[in-house]
Amino acid sequence: MKVICNRGALLEALNVAGTVVASRTPKPSLQCVKLSAPDKSLTVMATDLEVAIRYIDHQVQIDEPGEALVPADKMRDIVRESVDDTLSIEISGDNAIIKGQDSNFKIFTQNVAEFPPVPDFEGEPQFEIAGGHLKQLIGQTLFAAAKESSRYAFNGVLVSVKGKKISLVATDGRRLAMAKGDLVSDNSGKDGVKAIIPAKALTLIDKLVDDPEEAVGFQIKENQILVHTSSATLTSSLVEGQFPPFEDVIPKDCDKKMTASTADFLAKIRLASLLTTEESKGVRLTFTKKGLVLSSRSPESGEATVNFPCKYEGTDVEIGFNPTFLIEALRVVDSDDITLELTAPNRPGLLKGGPDFLYVIMPVNLQ
């Protein structure tokens, strides 16, 4: 194999593929990227056996077709630190020779046959969504997925598709985020599709999408998802198990409702949370006809009181919330105004931002 690459494009490919390279593994092949140059492009592949990426670099000149398995970190470091516009890569025996104008590196390669197969996207997508819209939906839900949980389904995001509509739902048991959107195309059939996509895979999908107008294609199979853009294909195992019946936790009969500016409410929550600590992670929200008073206190820091004039309908109520959970949700709301609906101090609150985003948050006990 002998190719001449645009250094910037090659570095982009190595950075994307490097996100799934296994950092700790007894298999040296999994610490490598596979380079495949069949004709007019260079494909860079990587996998950790759960997630795999194929990234196509078109800014290359193929002098000799071929393939090689090279250490991902060494390859990326060389390409990153080089100052040349182009680099040549030539495979000679068990070595990869990388040349710049004033540099020459020889790194040892691995046996290509030891690298596991990386699936490609074949056939038509089951559904497509605009890249910018997909990134918005991921941003509005992924943050609410569990970082660590004994309930494995909590570590993923439920994706549901039916009738050119898509919804994403994530929960960690203390809050739940749900975002809805429209598809570019839907060939999933009358019953649609549902799958729990791992948080890691969605994070990588978010990074892969760089053109907000490009349609991103999806195929969901029995235990696998494939995601395709013009430059990359990502494959991931799906999360096994049943997603919790989230519809049951969404409050239905709220008789108390606050309406406010998203930015103003976010600012007041941030202000009231300044004196909270990890031990006293709660802000008290007191709703009356006059508006809202936010307060917090901790033995270590002191007390804070913040007045927030707002529109409120319903009887007076006092409830406590984790301010971080509110802040994270308010940051991803894409509407100017929000509503916060309540029923009782010991019942969850329902935050809505526009017609396609809702957020359920459990109250906290305040001393």
How far apart (Å, rounded) are the C-alpha atoms in residues 15 and 31? 14
**328-341 residue pLDDT tens:** 999 999 999 999 99
- For the cut 80, the answer to whether the pLDDT of residue 327 exceeds it is yes
Same domain? For 148 and 231 the reply is: yes
For residue 81, what is the domain's CATH number? 3.10.150.10
**29-64 residue pLDDT tens:** 999 999 999 988 999 999 999 999 999 999 999 999
Look at 315 and 367; give whichever has higher pLDDT.
315
How far apart (Å, rounded) are the C-alpha atoms in residues 299 and 367? 11
How far apart (Å, rounded) are the C-alpha atoms in residues 338 and 292? 14
- For the cut 90, the answer to whether the pLDDT of residue 23 exceeds it is no
Domain annotation covers residue 136? yes
Same domain? For 285 and 315 the reply is: yes
Full domain range(s) for residue 72: 2-114
Same domain? For 356 and 288 the reply is: yes
In Å, how far are 274, 340, 354 from 267, measured between CA atoms?
11, 15, 19
The reported pLDDT for the residue numbered 365 is 87
Same domain? For 92 and 152 the reply is: no
Domain annotation covers residue 17? yes
How far apart (Å, rounded) are the C-alpha atoms in residues 159 and 138? 10
Look at 57 and 222; give whichever has higher pLDDT.
57
The token duo for 275 is: 């004196």
Domain boundary among 217, 246, 275: 246
Q: How many domains does the chain have?
A: 3
What is the greatest pairwise CA distance in the chain? 79
Same domain? For 131 and 169 the reply is: yes
Same domain? For 234 and 316 the reply is: no
Same domain? For 259 and 194 the reply is: no
Percent of the chain with pLDDT over 90: 86
Same domain? For 209 and 167 the reply is: yes
In Å, how far are 151, 152, 156, 316 from 143, measured between CA atoms?
17, 16, 11, 31
Tell me the pLDDT band of 205, cut-offs 50, 70 and 90: very high
Domain annotation covers residue 122? no
- Look over the chain and give the mean of its residue pLDDT values, rounded to a whole number: 93
How far apart (Å, rounded) are the C-alpha atoms in residues 170 and 346? 22
The reported pLDDT for the residue numbered 277 is 79
Domain annotation covers residue 348? yes
Query: CA end-to-end span of the chain, whole Å?
Result: 69
- For the cut 90, the answer to whether the pLDDT of residue 103 exceeds it is yes
Predicted structure pTM score: 0.91
Give the 3-state secondary structure of 162-205: ECCEEEEEEECCCEEEEEEEECCEECCCCCCEEEEEEHHHHHHH
- For the cut 80, the answer to whether the pLDDT of residue 202 exceeds it is yes
**134-185 residue pLDDT tens:** 999 999 999 999 877 555 677 899 999 999 999 999 999 999 999 999 999 9
Same domain? For 105 and 9 the reply is: yes
Domain boundary among 53, 80, 114: 114
Tell me the pLDDT band of 242, cut-offs 50, 70 and 90: confident
Q: Residue 297 forms beta bridges with which residues?
A: 303
Domain annotation covers residue 172? yes
Q: What is the mean pLDDT of residues 86-105?
A: 95
H helices within 244-310, ranges in order? 262-272
Domain annotation covers residue 121? no
How far apart (Å, rounded) are the C-alpha atoms in residues 190 and 231? 30
**264-313 residue pLDDT tens:** 999 999 999 998 877 778 999 999 999 999 999 888 889 999 999 999 99
Three-class DSSP category at 130 = strand
Tell me the pLDDT band of 24, cut-offs 50, 70 and 90: confident
Look at 193 and 150; give whichever has higher pLDDT.
193
How far apart (Å, rounded) are the C-alpha atoms in residues 141 and 158? 10
Domain annotation covers residue 274? yes
Domain boundary among 223, 246, 269: 246
The reported pLDDT for the residue numbered 149 is 53
Question: DSSP character for 29?
Answer: G
Same domain? For 146 and 171 the reply is: yes
- For the cut 80, the answer to whether the pLDDT of residue 318 exceeds it is yes
Same domain? For 185 and 155 the reply is: yes
Domain annotation covers residue 119? no
Residues 59 and 22: beta-carbon distance below 8 Å = no
What does the DSSP assignment read for 44-78? EEEE-SSEEEEEEE-SEEEEE-EEEEEEHHHHHHH
Same domain? For 224 and 257 the reply is: no
Residues 254 and 350: beta-carbon distance below 8 Å = yes
The reported pLDDT for the residue numbered 151 is 57
How far apart (Å, rounded) are the C-alpha atoms in residues 278 and 356? 32
The reported pLDDT for the residue numbered 26 is 85
The token duo for 118 is: 């990386």
Residues 13 and 55: beta-carbon distance below 8 Å = yes
Angle between helices 323-332 and 262-272 (to 10 degrees): 150
- Range with lowest mean pLDDT among 144-153, 204-213, 322-331, 358-367: 144-153
